Amino acid sequence: MQTGARLRKRAEFLDVRQRGRRVSDRLIVLGVVLSDGGATRFGLVVDKRVGGAVTRNRVKRRLRECLRSLEFAPGYNIVVSARPAAAEADYHILLSSVRRMARRAGVVPLRAADPAGNSRRRTATQNEFTQSKITGKAV
């Protein structure tokens, strides 16, 4: 993750927390809000409840790589908070969790294939609905 793609200031994290939409599972909490800039930026929160310094840094490295491997829609500020169960999860489990939460938040396209081999894509109305839920405004 490049330096320009990171949230650094406390006010940016608070903005995502206050105005954003949150989705979560047992491993992570993902907060999403539309940003003023064009690029999507990320912030990581790994609390002491996750473990000691070595464990927290391992979780952060894995989460950074998960975020790097996914293709996000531009124009969002995203905060990923690790829960204590993330310490025991390996990279692939964290990746599936991040991917699932990002899809629920509407910041990555749905590219799941059905058993017949056809790929599903979001329609314009689904994208508009997701945007309205994140921004709080009707589209």
Alpha-carbon gap, residue 80 to 83, rounded angstroms = 10
**Tens digits of pLDDT across the chain (139 residues):** 566 689 999 999 999 999 999 999 999 999 999 988 788 999 999 999 999 999 999 999 999 999 999 999 999 999 999 999 999 999 999 999 999 999 999 998 766 433 444 444 444 445 555 565 566 665 5
Element (H, E) at 103: helix 91-105
Q: How much is the pLDDT for 117?
A: 45
Alpha-carbon gap, residue 78 to 88, rounded angstroms = 23
How many distinct structural domains can be found in the chain? 1
Q: How much is the pLDDT for 33?
A: 95
Residue carrying the six token digits 């979780």: 59
Question: CA 60, 61, 66, 69 torsion: positive or negative?
Answer: positive
Q: How much is the pLDDT for 119?
A: 46
Per DSSP, the chain holds a count of helices (H) and strands (E) of 4, 4
The two three-digit tokens of residue 39, written as one number: 């690029």
Q: Domain limits at 112? A: 3-135
The two three-digit tokens of residue 54, written as one number: 């070595």
What is the length of the chain? 139
Q: How much is the pLDDT for 113?
A: 39
Q: How much is the pLDDT for 125?
A: 47
Alpha-carbon gap, residue 63 to 107, rounded angstroms = 16
Q: How much is the pLDDT for 109?
A: 74
CA angle, corner 129, sides to 79 and 68, nearest 5? 30
CATH assignment at residue 45: 3.30.230.10
